[in-house]
Amino acid sequence: MNILNNVDLSAANTLRLPCQAQRFTAPRTLSALRDVLGQARREGWAVTLLGGGSNVLLPEKLPGLVVRPALHQWWLSGHQDDQNAQEDDVFAHVGAGVNWHALVMATAARGLWGIENLALIPGSCGAAPVQNIGAYGVELADVLHAVQVMELATGRVDWLSAEECAFGYRDSLFKGELAGGVVITQLVLRLSRTPAPKLGYGDIAARLPSFPTPLAVAEAVCAIRREKLPDPHVLANAGSFFKNPLVNDEQVTQLLRQYPAMPHFPQGGGKTKLAAGWLIDQCGLKGMRDGAFGVHQHQALVLVHFGGGDRHGLMKTANYIAAQVEARFGVLLEPEPRLINP
Ligand code: EPU
């Protein structure tokens, strides 16, 4: 078993926060993963799971063992034990270590519909269900069929249906009840050969012909993202730093009276989603810099790291931004990436 000691994880998280892992391993098979979890149990090492590192806030020191599943296989099948399966359905079976964007482009290039709107989201497939990745009107939950997991305590492999994952906006069972209890090892996605473009969000439709291919949709999404979102290889960031807040109807009515142009998206059940980026932008914070960190100049929801900072400094900047928004709008912002603690 290949366990490395004292591993620098600053290049393994897209915010490039400094982090020293006491031990690190990247098992390539289910049995190697089971073995390493068994060893961690016997030695009493705390286990921290890491995917592509694109949605985590790492501390400076991580004792115990960091495990990054390197299950890189994926394949397509036409059949699945599912009474609702359609003739044109194609199921993608995807190892947790597969890069999400690579999967999107590969399935779109094969003419399969389903995840083309989720192009260019950084990170690994195994991490995708944790926060139920979403963009341009599509969420992972819309196409996820099942998730294979390995229980940390026993090494037992199990399957969860999409319903069992309790998906919500940037939320799932893996952030709640199952947090720290399982490793996601494989996803099964239900894709389709039947054209089903979802072009309702923003100006995607304006960039495409009337009957686009899934690859053309994926490429349009990439173009939009490249215009607004910084490339983490060039400027360290973790995508949206805050979740879009959900507020009640009464608060929206009051806010709209004062700010009639405020973007707002009713969600049903008396709740409305506001655009955190707009709220931050209105506070005049777009493009601001606070030491090593700042607010991206083209998208106020993204915090960027210019280098030399750590998580403490990032949280200081984030708290300042949240305090400004709260003072002006009375709305609380919550960080979207996960705070990883030893
Ligand atoms: N807005 C501003 N100023 C800004 C940013 C946004 O006024 O600096 C306004 C926009 O004009 C628009 C509204 O806010 O009216 C919403 O903006 P946008 O469409 O850019 O989307 P978002 O709500 O800021 C969410 C996701 C993104 C996803 C996009 C597109 C969250 C937290 N973020 O951003 O996801 O790509 O929608 O679907 O839900 C991520 O999670 O890392 C991420 C990038």
Report the range of poorest mean pLDDT among 20-24, 79-83, 132-136, 266-270. Answer: 79-83
Report the nearest-CA residue for atom 23 of ligand 1. 275
Report the nearest-CA residue for atom 32 of ligand 1. 243
Q: Which atom of ligand 1 is nearest to the CA of 240?
A: 42
Please tell me the pTM assigned to this model. 0.95
Tell me the pLDDT band of 30, cut-offs 50, 70 and 90.
very high
Pocket test residue of 281, 301, 302, 303 for ligand 1, highest count of atoms within 8 A of CB: 301
Distance 275 CA to ligand 1 centre (A): 7
Q: In the prediction, which pLDDT does 81 show?
A: 64
Helices vs strands, H then E, count in the chain: 6, 20
Spatial distance between the Cα atoms of 123 and 51, rounded to a whole number of angstroms: 7
Q: In the prediction, which pLDDT does 86 show?
A: 76
pLDDT in tens, 262-318: 999 999 999 999 999 999 999 999 999 999 999 999 999 999 999 999 999 999 999
Q: In the prediction, which pLDDT does 83 show?
A: 66
Q: Dmax over Cα atoms in the chain, in whole Å?
A: 62
For 209, the 3-state DSSP assignment is coil
Is residue 256 within 8 Å of residue 250, measured between CB atoms? no
Pocket test residue of 14, 240, 244, 267 for ligand 1, highest count of atoms within 8 A of CB: 240
List, as one string, the DSSP characters of 65-94: EEE------EEEES--S-TT--TTEEEEEE
Question: How large a percentage of the chain has pLDDT more than 90?
Answer: 95
Q: Which atom of ligand 1 is nearest to the CA of 239?
A: 42
For 18, the 3-state DSSP assignment is coil
* Residue 76, strand partner residues: 92
Report the nearest-CA residue for atom 9 of ligand 1. 278
Q: Which atom of ligand 1 is nearest to the CA of 286?
A: 8
Q: Is the pLDDT of residue 66 over 90?
A: yes
pLDDT in tens, 105-125: 999 999 999 999 999 999 999
Q: Which atom of ligand 1 is nearest to the CA of 336?
A: 32
Tell me the pLDDT band of 147, cut-offs 50, 70 and 90.
very high
Tell me the pLDDT band of 82, cut-offs 50, 70 and 90.
low
List, as one string, the DSSP characters of 143-190: TEEEEEEEETTT--EEEEETGGG--BTTB-TTTTTTTTTEEEEEEEEE
Q: What is the phi/psi pair of residue 105, to 5°?
A: -70, -35
Mean pLDDT of 230-239: 97
Distance 276 CA to ligand 1 centre (A): 8
Active site residues: 170, 240, 336
Structure tokens at 197: 């473009």
Spatial distance between the Cα atoms of 309 and 306, rounded to a whole number of angstroms: 8
Structure tokens at 308: 């030399």
Q: Which atom of ligand 1 is nearest to the CA of 238?
A: 42
Pocket test residue of 120, 172, 278, 285 for ligand 1, highest count of atoms within 8 A of CB: 278
Report the nearest-CA residue for atom 7 of ligand 1. 278
Report the nearest-CA residue for atom 43 of ligand 1. 240
For 95, the 3-state DSSP assignment is strand
List, as one string, the DSSP characters of 48-72: EE-SSSSSEE--SEEEEEEE-----
Alpha-carbon distance values, 213 to 88, 180, 277 (Å): 16, 39, 31
Is residue 71 within 8 Å of residue 30, measured between CB atoms? yes
Q: What is the phi/psi pair of residue 207, to 5°?
A: -95, 0
Mean pLDDT of 228-238: 97
| Residues with C-beta less than 6 Å from any ligand 1 atom | 135-136, 201-202, 229, 239-240, 243-244, 263, 275, 277-278, 281, 286, 299-301, 336
Tell me the pLDDT band of 194, cut-offs 50, 70 and 90.
very high
Mean pLDDT of 178-207: 96
Angle between helices 100-109 and 214-228 (to 10 degrees): 150
Mean pLDDT of 207-225: 97
Structure tokens at 4: 């490395």
Helices of type H across the chain: 30-43, 100-109, 214-228, 249-258, 276-282, 311-329
